[in-house]
Amino acid sequence: QLDITDRAAYARAADEVDICKLLDFGIVHTASDPIDKPRATITIGGRTFKLAANPVFDAGGQRLGSSVEWNDITAEVKIQAEIQRIVQAAVGGDLTQRIELAGKEGFAKELSVAINTLADTTSRVIDDAVRVSGRLAEGDLRETVDREYEGTFKQLKDAINAAVGKL
């Protein structure tokens, strides 16, 4: 995190600012249509910012210049990367990955908890199906899925248990 009270860290972060990129981005943009706002995303000092240039006009409608709105989207970028990582792992059959909850609050924490709960539930269902199928492969007809599930997970449980019961 960029701490502006730490002069050395601030100087390092300031060195990361690409003035040419900011100029290309639109600090000197001359469009008078406020809908035509140049936008960019930059990273400074480990923080990610979304920038939006806004035209500034005087009372007579004469353009005075531009202001740049800086929005720190570091948390959003981080949660997006974490979600992408866990989804890719799940698609690849790895249901052990979870999103770290430390340092998250609000929507990011709620979303992380929900994704972790989904991964936990899906992992348990798959583990139960593998466990019972493995026992069936060994000739053990006593093993069933005992946990309570809902929806499609319950349908899978019921189908596995019905198959075991008919053998």
Instruction: Determine which of 7-11, 28-32, 84-88 has the lowest per-residue pLDDT on average.
Output: 28-32
Q: Which residues pair with 47 in a beta bridge?
A: 44
Q: Across residues 74-95, what is the average pLDDT?
A: 93
Q: Which among 16-25, 64-73, 152-161 has the top mean pLDDT?
A: 152-161
pLDDT over threshold 50, residue 149: yes
Predicted pLDDT at 7: 61
CB 74 within 8 A of CB 48: yes
Q: Across residues 76-90, what is the average pLDDT?
A: 94
DSSP classification of residue 55: E
Question: What whole-number distance in Å separates Cα of residue 149 and Cα of residue 142?
Answer: 20
Query: Taking the chain, what is the end-to-end CA distance rounded to the nearest angstrom?
Result: 60
Strands annotated E in 16-166: 39-44, 47-57, 63-72
